[in-house]
Structure formats: C-alpha cells, structure tokens
Structure 1
Amino acid sequence: MYGVGLSFVIPIKGEPNKFLISTNRSLTILNWDGESDEPTSLQTIVTVEEDKPKNRFNDGKADPSGKVWAGTLGGEISPGVFAQKVAAFYSFKNPRSPVRHLSDVSMSNGLTWTRDLKTLYYIDTLKGQIEAFDNDPKAEKLSNGRVIVDFKENGIPGNPDGLTIDTEGKLWVANFNGGQVLRVDATTGSVLRTVQIPANKVTCAVFGGADLDELYVTTANIRDTPEERKKFPLGGTTFRVTGLGVKGYAGDKAILDLE
C-alpha cells in the first residue's frame, strides 16, 4: 500500500474489520483489525478511468441507503495545478459496475444527501460552487442540477471542499484557503453562520461526539510557504468545535452488492 493515494475509508456494514478504501483509481476492500501495522488482506474490486492513469479518487461516502458514491480528480500538471474537466463522479450500487453520473469534472469533492435521498449536494472544488441534484435511487439517475451557492459571486474566499448536513437540513462546507466552515441554507444559498478555524486550508467537517453535536474539522498544510506556516502554525490539525447548538448524523456504512 505504500505510495498509494488513499483518500477515503468507509466502514462496511456487518463487517467490523472490513473497510472500503480508495487506492488511486481503484476501490479496494481492506481487511484490518484496527491495531496491526499491516492489513490482513486487500482486495481490489473495481478500477475506473483506465485511460487516465494520472487521475485518482478524491472524496467518497456511503449514502443513507448504504450505496457508495465517489469521484475523481485530474492529474497534477505542476505543483498545486490539476488537469481540469477530465474526471468524473460515480455511484457503486454494485461496485463492479459503476454508474457514471457526471463527466467533465475537475476535482470531485464534498457530497451529502437529504435523509430521504431525494437530493444530493455536491462539490466540484474548482468550480467554486455547491450544487444540488434531484436523485432517483431506483433509476440510479441524477437530474435538475442547480447551483446552491457560488463562492465567487458571494465574495467568499478560497474554494468549497468537504461537505456535510445537519438534522435541520442545513449544509456545512469546509472552506479551503478560507480558514472557515460555513453553514449554508440549502434552499436559499444564504450563509447562515461562519465558524473560524485557526488554519487556512480547511478540508472537511463531520459531526461526531456522543450526541453528534460536535463538529470535527480537518485541515491541511500541504505546500504552505514558510510565511504561511508561520501565520497558520496549526495547519494540518484536526479541530473539535463544540457549542454549536445543532446536531448531525453519524457516517453511513457501505452495503456492497458484489454479485
């Protein structure tokens, strides 16, 4: 596994020691006891975009029904510069038979759903937008794509990254190169709340804690200049935010149909 690009880990329902992970452009089942230095086994079950070897998976999650969704990003052309509109976004009801929902993606990133699965919220980071799609789980089809919030049009610095939803149906988006997490009204696109984070490159936010009322926020310091590291010495830290007065949902586990 060394040297492999691993960007997400999803527990598999009913299999305490098994996880679905990304390995470059592949989905792989990891069998691991959570303590050993090495996994018991690794089983690659599907590889996408064989014709684009520089692409790789980025963000991925299981939806409330257990179906896995994940997207790719374009290869890095130069430090911090990625090929645009060469990636895609997929669902994996049967992981060996992926369904491609979006093409011409640049950097597939945050994703979350309403609990009834009727709406998917999605981020292609380099577009600088949070988008929404009507979701038909039975037909495995997305439709009626629309922009919920455009960062540039709203004067929000940086780009959107990771995404989650609270029990009131409001979105929480990590603001990469913006040093904050934003709570957004998914209907109006209004920014309802800003949570400042003492790091600039905010990458993801998820709810946790015993009552799911704490927000765990990851950050990065990749390619920070010496000046940036001095200004944001806590870049790369995971933060816990309490006292928000809202609750979220636990992460959903993957249900894999490998028949």
Structure 2
Amino acid sequence: MVCAKFGLAKADFRLKQIEYVLRFPSDDATSLRMRSNDGIIDPWGNLWIGTMNDFPITKKEGVLPEGTLYRIDASDMSVKIMLENTQISNGLAFNKDGSKFYWTDSLTFTVWQFDYNNETKELSDRKPLIDMRNVFPEQDSPEPDGLSRSNDGVFYHAVFGTSLVIRYNSDAEVLHKYVLPACRITSTALGGANDDKLFITTAHLHLDEFDVSIDPEDRAGDLGGFLYRCDLPDKVNSSAKALWAGK
C-alpha cells in the first residue's frame, strides 16, 4: 500500500502500476493540485497522511496553504480531516500511549504538539514544540523535514537545507547535531540489531529536475541522494513502527 497523488493505493513495483483503493475527499480541481507527502500509522493502526501542492504547482506558484492532514480509519476506511490549510506536512510522531501527537509543517519551520483523544478522534491544545528559526538563526530557510522519536521522548529531526540532523528532547533542548556531506536532509529512522543506529535519508540537489541524469557513482561535491547510517554510542530506546490494522 502506498499514499499516492489522489489517495491510498495498492502498488506493484515490478509492473510499475498502482490501483487506488481510496481517494481523498476533495473535488477534481483541488485533487489535481495536490499530492501525498509524509504520514504515519498511529498506535491503533490507523493511517495519518498529509497532502501538499504537487510539483507542477510549486514550480509555478510556490507552496500554498492548501494542504490537509487526514486520518484514515483502518476499521472502515472512513476519512477524517484533522488539520486544514497546511503547507508541507512532515515529521509526524506519537508518544508511547498515543495521548500526544507531534506534527511538522515545514514552511512554518515549526514542530507542533497536540493532545490527542482516540475516543473522540480529536486534536486539542495545539502549541509549538520547537521553532527551527531559533535553532538556526543564521539560516534563511531551516525547514524541519522527517523525524524519529524514541520512547524516551528524544527527537532525531532532519532539517532540510542545513546538512544537519538535530537531536532534541521534549523540552526543545538541542542535545546534538549530526553533520552530513549533503545539504538536503530529508528523514530519519532509529534501529539496528543493537538499537544504536541512526539511518538518514537525503535528497539530490537536482531532485526537482526530472530530466536530469544522475550518476550514483559520482562522489564529488554534495552527496545528497544517498542513505546514511550513523553508529550511535548508546542504545536509543527506539519505538517500534505501528502496523496498519486494516485488511
């Protein structure tokens, strides 16, 4: 299953085909402007997925606050709108019991935290957790991208355009910065056999140029587009990824 341009789909990567099983509840004109971005499975097995402007729109008009954060219920595939008028949904996480929800809107440069009630399916008490402009005052656009959160409440957050992953706690105290030989840092994952690895995805500088020829053997200059592994000095108490609870 993949989150695609118009909704949730079954994908066959060998045949390079997708078949939609659910479409987001938007009109045709809006659907053409949007695509899926980052998402997460919550502790109860439901899918949360954010949409944003698709590439042809962003090239012409930039990113507009037309996005939506949806919750897709695993039991009946019903769709609930959780947040509207978003820009770039990224970096989602729950705490261990699911009572706290963390969500990144990259162009606000902020990670937002909410209280979450799974009985009512409602978010409340929205407030900023960390604003990357305070962490990177010298940067014009320090965009928080994908993140991981440990069971200890420690975040490992990729910051697009900075060459850095930052580690910070639930009090927004920055504990460490991991420097990579790539500018566009996109997401993180925690794990490894001994629970002491940080995996980091990056984007190539020419990602937006669809007709460009990229040589993966070229190790000169910016090394975006590679997957990196960082060996950490201690175990991180990583949280297991939740699984989709539907069929």
Match for 2:227 among 238, 250, 254? Answer: 238
1:143: how far off? 0.6
Name the structure 2 match of 1:17. Answer: none
Name the structure 2 match of 1:203. Answer: 186
Percent of aligned pairs sharing the same letter: 25
Tell me if the contact between 1:214 and 1:242 (Cα under 8 Å) persists in the aligned partners: yes
Name the structure 1 match of 2:14. Answer: 37
Residues 155-174 of structure 1 show CA distances to partners (whole Å, capped at 9, x for unaligned) of 35421000110121111111
For the structure 1 residues 78 and 120, does the alpha-carbon distance in structure 2 shift closer, same or farther, using more than 3 Å as the test? closer
Residues 199-252 of structure 1 show CA distances to partners (whole Å, capped at 9, x for unaligned) of 110000011211332111000014379xxx9531x1100001112422312322
2:150 pairs with 1:166: yes
Match for 2:241 among 232, 247, 251? Answer: 251
Aligned residues: 229
**What letter is aligned with 1:242?**
D
Name the structure 1 match of 2:89. Answer: 108
2:173 pairs with 1:193: no
1:29: how far off? 2.8
Larger helix percent: 2
Tell me if the contact between 1:164 and 1:205 (Cα under 8 Å) persists in the aligned partners: yes
1:25: how far off? 2.2
Tell me if the contact between 1:207 and 1:250 (Cα under 8 Å) persists in the aligned partners: no
Identify unmatched segments of 5+ residues in structure 2: 210-218
**What letter is aligned with 2:243?**
K
Aligned 1:1-259 pairs, distance under 5 A: 20-30=1-11, 37-38=14-15, 42-48=18-24, 49-50=26-27, 51-52=29-30, 53-76=32-55, 77-79=57-59, 82-94=62-74, 96-155=77-136, 157=139, 158-186=142-170, 188-223=171-206, 231-232=221-222, 234-245=223-234, 246-256=236-246
Secondary structure of the 1:24 match is coil
Identify unmatched segments of 5+ residues in structure 1: 1-19
Secondary structure of the 1:103 match is strand
TM-score normalised by the chain length of structure 1: 0.80
For the structure 1 residues 222 and 81, does the alpha-carbon distance in structure 2 shift closer, same or farther, using more than 3 Å as the test? farther
For the structure 1 residues 239 and 97, does the alpha-carbon distance in structure 2 shift closer, same or farther, using more than 3 Å as the test? same
RMSD: 2.4
1: distance between equivalents of 2:187 and 2:22?
Answer: 26
For the structure 1 residues 140 and 244, does the alpha-carbon distance in structure 2 shift closer, same or farther, using more than 3 Å as the test? farther
1: distance between equivalents of 2:63 and 2:38?
Answer: 17
**What letter is aligned with 2:89?**
S
Secondary structure of the 2:153 match is coil
Secondary structure of the 1:121 match is strand
1:197: how far off? 1.6
Tell me if the contact between 2:145 and 2:160 (Cα under 8 Å) persists in the aligned partners: yes
Tell me if the contact between 1:60 and 1:70 (Cα under 8 Å) persists in the aligned partners: yes
